[in-house]
């Protein structure tokens, strides 16, 4: 029995943290996706984390991804780290060990940082990082299609977090240039990829929540009212203590989910759902508490807190919100929800 990031996961996370500490200060994060930063991240293997070695990636798993995503959240990095990982998992399925073909090409392009991906697993929902994606993967009826961005007719749509560069993919999947990557009946592979996204988003949310908490602790120590720093008031302290508690108890659930994913354990689906429940709840609590403790300054775009608030508001419901995943755990634990059917008319 051992529960904790491995030494190499820690080492990897530390190198990502150092890089983002230099290249992704809040003023950089504000400016959105940066090809230069993506290249730097590719230099240490981030986009190719889950790409098998045969295609030039690191061939690592969800454990490493979680460690890295947490750092991306901490730095509020507006790069498509989660999307690259999910795309890698899907394309690895599609390539099926072959060295040629679309999937193999995209895997190589992901790993060397030459291309970014967007992933549209739920129909109709806006797609994160679509605006600057080089190719997109689109799920329809249990099948997976891939197409270069140019073929996908991506329409930018606004969103609460500009860093997510949302777009609507406005195309039919059989458009010219689109390729069928996984034929119908691959629902399991799609569900597994969605799980990976949920785990990575959960890890990102932990890093984001911790960053907000740190900012807020500092602020509460500086800001004085009634002749003393607001951080000495218990109403403030206890809110932040609750945030720390929520984060610290969410983290091991994320580690476990990553472990279950990597080893394809029977509990993998439930473990991923549970991690997202705890991480979304912790991050939502952090956003709420940290905004409150900042007062009016926190309600401004200018305050750096806003970067993470926006990230968390979006990411806590992306890849399934807490309610969605909680219901999944409940179904698993208690049997399907016998929600009353519509009364007969």
Partner 1 sequence: MDRLLYLTLCQIMLARVTDLAFTVAEEDFRCEIREWLAAHVPREPLPSMDTAEGFRAHQEWERELYDAGWAVVGWPARYGGRDASLFEWLIFEEEYWRSGAPGRVGQNGIFLFAPTLFEYGTEEQKNRILPPMARGEQIWVQGWSEPGAGSDLAALRSRAVRDERRGGWVLSGQKTWSSRGAFGHRLFGLFRTDPAAGRHRGLTYLMADLAADGVSVRPIRQLDGEPGFAEVFLDDVFVPDADVLGEPGQGWNVAMSTTGSERGLSLRSPGRFLAAADRLVALYGQVRAGTTPGRRTPDTYRDAVADAWMRAEAYRLYVFQTVTRLQEGGVVVGAESSLNKVFWSELDADLHTTAQRLLGPHAETGGPWLDGYLFALAGPIYAGTNEIQRNVIAERLLGMEREPKGGRR
Q: What residues from 185 to 224 belong to the interface with partner 1 (CB under 8 A)?
A: 213, 217, 220-221
Near partner 1 by CB under 8 A: residue from 5, 17, 28, 311? 5
Q: At what angle do helices 7-23 and 35-43 cross, to 10 degrees?
A: 150
What is the distance between the alpha carbons of residues 7 and 112, in angstroms, rounded to a whole number? 25
Tell me how far, at minimum, the Cβ of 188 lies from partner 1, in Å.
23
Q: Which is nearer to partner 1, 187 or 221 (CB)?
A: 221
Output 7-11 pairs: Cβ under 8 A, ≥24 positions apart.
8/64, 9/63, 9/64, 9/66, 9/67, 10/67
Binding mask 240-269 for partner 1 (x = CB under 8 A): xxx-xx--xxxxxx-xx-xxx---------
The alpha carbon torsion through 82, 207, 37, 15 (nearest 10 deg) reads -100
What is the distance between the alpha carbons of residues 199 and 193, in angstroms, rounded to a whole number? 10
Size of the residue set binding partner 1 (CB under 8 A)? 59
Q: What residues from 297 to 326 belong to the interface with partner 1 (CB under 8 A)?
A: 323, 326
Report in angstroms the alpha-carbon separations of 130 from 53, 180, 283, 316: 26, 19, 24, 19
Near partner 1 by CB under 8 A: residue from 77, 103, 119, 277? 277
23 binds partner 1 (CB under 8 A): no
Span from 127-135, 155-163, 299-307, 329-337 in contact with partner 1 (CB under 8 A): 329-337
Tell me how far, at minimum, the Cβ of 42 lies from partner 1, in Å.
9
Near partner 1 by CB under 8 A: residue from 38, 219, 261, 278? 278
What is the distance between the alpha carbons of residues 50 and 209, in angstroms, rounded to a whole number? 25
288 binds partner 1 (CB under 8 A): no
Q: Which is nearer to partner 1, 156 or 252 (CB)?
A: 252
Tell me how far, at minimum, the Cβ of 242 lies from partner 1, in Å.
7
What is the distance between the alpha carbons of residues 275 and 120, in angstroms, rounded to a whole number? 22
What residue has token string 């997202």? 276
Give the contacts of 1 (CB within 8 A, at least 6 positions apart): none
* Residues at the interface with partner 1 (CB under 8 A): 1-9, 11-12, 15, 43-45, 58, 63, 213, 217, 220-221, 228-229, 231-234, 237-238, 240-242, 244-245, 248-253, 255-256, 258-260, 274, 277-278, 323, 326-327, 329-330, 333-335, 337-339
């Amino acid at each position: 029995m051992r529960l904790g990031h491995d030494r190499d996961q820690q080492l990897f996370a530390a190198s990502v943290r150092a890089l983002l500490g230099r290249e992704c200060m809040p003023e950089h994060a504000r400016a959105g996706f940066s090809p230069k930063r993506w290249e730097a991240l590719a230099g240490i293997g981030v986009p190719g984390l889950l790409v098998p070695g045969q295609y030039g990636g690191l061939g690592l798993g969800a454990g490493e991804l979680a460690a890295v995503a947490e750092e991306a959240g901490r730095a509020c990095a507006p790069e498509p780290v989660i999307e690259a990982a999910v795309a890698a998992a899907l394309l690895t399925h599609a390539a099926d060990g072959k060295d040629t073909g679309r999937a193999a090409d995209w895997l190589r392009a992901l790993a060397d940082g030459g291309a970014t991906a967007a992933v549209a697993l739920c129909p109709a929902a806006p797609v994160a990082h679509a605006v600057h994606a080089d190719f997109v993967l689109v799920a329809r009826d249990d099948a997976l299609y891939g197409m270069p961005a140019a073929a996908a007719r991506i329409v930018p749509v606004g969103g609460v977090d500009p860093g997510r560069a949302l777009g609507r993919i406005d195309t039919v999947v059989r458009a010219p240039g689109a390729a069928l990557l996984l034929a119908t009946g691959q629902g399991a592979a799609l569900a597994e990829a969605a799980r990976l996204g949920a785990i990575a988003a959960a890890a990102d949310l932990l890093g984001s929540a911790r960053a907000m908490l740190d900012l807020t602790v500092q602020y509460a120590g500086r800001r004085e009212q009634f002749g003393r720093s607001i951080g000495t008031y218990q109403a403030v302290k206890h809110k932040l203590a609750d945030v720390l508690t929520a984060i610290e108890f969410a983290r091991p659930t994320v580690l476990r989910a990553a472990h279950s994913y990597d080893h394809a354990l029977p509990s993998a689906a439930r473990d991923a759902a549970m991690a997202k429940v705890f991480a979304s709840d912790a991050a939502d609590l952090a956003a709420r508490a940290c905004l409150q403790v900042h007062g009016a300054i926190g309600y401004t775009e200018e305050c750096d807190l806003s970067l993470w608030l926006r990230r968390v508001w979006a990411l806590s419901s992306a890849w399934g919100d807490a309610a969605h995943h909680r219901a999944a755990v409940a179904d698993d634990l208690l049997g399907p929800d016998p929600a009353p059917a519509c009364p007969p008319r």
